[in-house]
Structure 1
Amino acid sequence: MDRLLDLWVKSLSRTKSQRTVITYTMCLGSLQKYLGKKSSLLEIEPTELFSYVDSSNLSTSSLLTHLSAIKHFYKFAFRRGWLSKEHYSELEAVLEEIRDELSSSKPQKSPKALSREELDRIFQTVRDTKYERVYSLLLYSGVRLSEYVQLRRDFFYRDKSGIYWLRLPAEITKRGKERLVPIIGPSKEETMKINEKLDEWLEDYDAYIRVKAGSLQVYTNRLSQRLGISFSVHSFRHTYITNLVNSGFPAEVVKEFAGHSNVKTTIDIYYRFSQERAKSLVENFLR
Structure 2
Amino acid sequence: MKTDSTTMKKQINNQIKEFLKYLEEIRGYSDLTIKSYDETLREAFLNHKESEAAKNIEIFQEDKNRIFNLMPYRIKIASLNSKTISKKLSAIRSFAKYLNDKGERVVVRADDSIKIAKTLPKPISHKIITEALLLAEPFERLIVTMFYALGVRISELASLETKDLSQGWIRVFGKGSKQRDMPLLPMLEEMLNDYLSLSKQKKFIFEKNGEKLSENSLRYIVIKVFKRVNIKVSPHQLRHSYATELLNNNAPIADVSELLGHSSMATTQIYTKLGSALKQKNYDKAHPLCGADK
**Same fold, judged at TM 0.5 (above):** yes
Secondary structure of the corresponding residue to residue 270 of structure 2: helix
Unaligned runs of 5+ in 1: 75-82, 159-163, 184-190, 277-287
Aligned-residue offset at 1:62: 1.2
CA spacing shift, 1:218–1:34, aligned 2, 3 Å: farther
Identity of matched residues, %:
21
Secondary structure of the corresponding residue to residue 206 of structure 1: coil
Question: Residues 240-269 of structure 1: CA distance to partner in whole angstroms, max 9, x if unpaired?
Answer: 111221221111111111011211111134
**Aligned equivalents of 1:147, 1:49: Cα separation in 2:** 36
Q: How many residues align?
A: 234
Question: Residues 175-212 of structure 1: CA distance to partner in whole angstroms, max 9, x if unpaired?
Answer: 442222223xxxxxxx4322332333344573974422
**Aligned equivalents of 1:63, 1:241: Cα separation in 2:** 28
CA spacing shift, 1:117–1:212, aligned 2, 3 Å: same
- Indicate if the aligned counterparts of 2:151 and 2:260 stay in contact, CA closer than 8 A: yes
CA spacing shift, 1:35–1:148, aligned 2, 3 Å: same
Aligned counterpart in structure 2 of residue 118 of structure 1, from 119, 128, 133: 128
Letter in 1 for 2:183: P
Aligned-residue offset at 1:118: 2.2
**Aligned equivalents of 2:135, 2:14: Cα separation in 1:** 43
Aligned counterpart in structure 2 of residue 259 of structure 1, from 258, 261, 271: 261
- Indicate if the aligned counterparts of 2:142 and 2:191 stay in contact, CA closer than 8 A: no
Structure with bigger strand share is 2
* Greater RCO (Cα-Cα under 8 Å, separation 6 or more): 1
Question: Residues 146-191 of structure 1: CA distance to partner in whole angstroms, max 9, x if unpaired?
Answer: 1111111121222xxxxx22223xxx421442222223xxxxxxx4
State the partner residue of 1:213: 215
Unaligned runs of 5+ in 2: 1-9, 25-29, 46-54, 208-212, 281-294
Q: TM-score, normalised by structure 2?
A: 0.60
Structure with the greater alpha carbon radius of gyration: 2
* Correspondence 1:264-275 to 2 at 5 A: 264-272=266-274, 273=276, 274-275=278-279
Letter in 2 for 1:30: E
Secondary structure of the corresponding residue to residue 123 of structure 2: coil
Secondary structure of the corresponding residue to residue 48 of structure 1: strand
State the partner residue of 1:194: 188
Aligned counterpart in structure 2 of residue 48 of structure 1, from 64, 68, 75: 68
Aligned counterpart in structure 1 of residue 41 of structure 2, from 6, 20, 28: 28
RMSD: 4.6
- Indicate if the aligned counterparts of 1:165 and 1:180 stay in contact, CA closer than 8 A: yes
Structure with bigger helix share is 1
CA spacing shift, 1:133–1:69, aligned 2, 3 Å: farther
Aligned-residue offset at 1:238: 1.2
State the partner residue of 1:143: 152
Letter in 1 for 2:178: K
**Aligned equivalents of 2:261, 2:271: Cα separation in 1:** 14
Secondary structure of the corresponding residue to residue 107 of structure 1: coil
**Aligned equivalents of 2:234, 2:90: Cα separation in 1:** 18
CA spacing shift, 1:118–1:192, aligned 2, 3 Å: same
Secondary structure of the corresponding residue to residue 249 of structure 1: coil
Question: Residues 85-131 of structure 1: CA distance to partner in whole angstroms, max 9, x if unpaired?
Answer: 9349x99xx9xxx89x65xx4332221111133213432332223x2
CA spacing shift, 1:4–1:48, aligned 2, 3 Å: closer
CA spacing shift, 1:269–1:63, aligned 2, 3 Å: farther
Residue 64 (str. 1) matches residue 59 (str. 2): no
- Indicate if the aligned counterparts of 1:182 and 1:257 stay in contact, CA closer than 8 A: no
**Aligned equivalents of 1:50, 1:166: Cα separation in 2:** 44
Question: Residues 212-258 of structure 1: CA distance to partner in whole angstroms, max 9, x if unpaired?
Answer: 21222244445555643121121221111112212211111111110
- Indicate if the aligned counterparts of 1:175 and 1:260 stay in contact, CA closer than 8 A: no
Secondary structure of the corresponding residue to residue 201 of structure 2: helix
